[in-house]
Amino acid sequence: MKVMNKVLAVTMVGTMLLSVTSCAKTFKKIDEDDLMDAFEDVFDWEEGYDYRESKDYEVWGTNFDDVEDPYIYDDCYYLQGAEFRDEDYMTYAYFAYIEFEEAKDADEYFENYYNVWAKGEKDVEQAYHKGSWGYYIESNEKEAFSAMYYIEDTVLEVSSYDEDGIKQVKELLKSFGYPC
């Protein structure tokens, strides 16, 4: 009987540990083609040359390290899109999808911001970083949403400062299975 109780206790502890560790659900990397399709479907954005001059998104890359800016890495792929409110130029929706050549660079980029915002002086709504993925949600209010997601070799930065824009941004994130 004592042996049976020990086996049962060990089994229950193991089951509880597995359930706790599985609570943090990972999410998958967004394919850039799917993100471009979502930009066009959700925001009616089209690919352009400079998202700052229009409601379009742009695709560009770097092939250099910038010693003046530690956040510009060699051989990055960028997909950026933004829309601003006309009356005050506040961000309606902003996305920066950055694919690094090496996963360690994406981790370093995310970790720098994560340490300041999620683990540092700034308050955040939610934060998680483990292994090759993580995220933090800096603000999640009616008129402000800002978050960063890290998946393998990619970082996705998202923000909106408009009630309708936040709804669309969150809709898009949820469609990809991202917490928001």
Tell me whether residue 138 is in a domain. Answer: yes
In degrees and rounded to multiples of 5, residue 160 shows phi and psi of -160, 140
Contact 94, 160 (CB under 8 A): yes
- d(CA 80, CA 82) in angstroms, rounded, equals 7
Kindly report, residue by residue over 34-70, the tens digit of the pLDDT.
988 988 888 888 877 665 556 566 665 655 455 566 5
Taken in order 160, 162, 163, 169, the sign of the CA dihedral is negative
Q: Specify the pTM.
A: 0.75
In this predicted model, which residue has the larger pLDDT, 14 or 120?
120
pLDDT score of 72 more than 70: no
**Number of independent structural domains in the chain:** 1
| Angle 120-18-173 from CA coordinates, rounded to 5° | 50
CATH of the domain at 142: 3.40.1000
pLDDT at 48: 73
Tell me whether residue 105 is in a domain. Answer: yes
Tell me whether residue 4 is in a domain. Answer: no
Contact 83, 43 (CB under 8 A): yes
pLDDT at 125: 73
Question: What domain range is 68 assigned to?
Answer: 25-175
Q: List, in sequence order, every beta strand (DSSP E) within the chain.
A: 57-61, 77-84, 91-99, 126-130, 133-140, 145-151, 154-160
| Angle 57-80-84 from CA coordinates, rounded to 5° | 65
Tell me whether residue 51 is in a domain. Answer: yes
Kindly report, residue by residue over 94-152, the tens digit of the pLDDT.
998 998 888 998 998 888 888 877 766 566 778 888 888 989 888 888 889 999 999 99
Q: Which long-range contacts does 59-66 make (Cβ < 8 Å, 24+ apart)? A: 59/32
Tell me whether residue 114 is in a domain. Answer: yes
In this predicted model, which residue has the larger pLDDT, 6 or 70?
70
Tell me whether residue 2 is in a domain. Answer: no
pLDDT at 7: 33
Grouping H, G, I as helix, E, B as strand and the rest as coil, residue 90 is coil
In this predicted model, which residue has the larger pLDDT, 51 or 81?
81
Tell me whether residue 129 is in a domain. Answer: yes
Tell me whether residue 3 is in a domain. Answer: no
pLDDT at 75: 61
Grouping H, G, I as helix, E, B as strand and the rest as coil, residue 108 is helix
pLDDT at 146: 92
Q: What is the rounded average pLDDT of the residues 74-78? A: 71
pLDDT score of 21 more than 80: no
Q: What is the rounded average pLDDT of the residues 12-26? A: 43
Q: What is the rounded average pLDDT of the residues 173-180? A: 92
DSSP conformation class of 124:
-
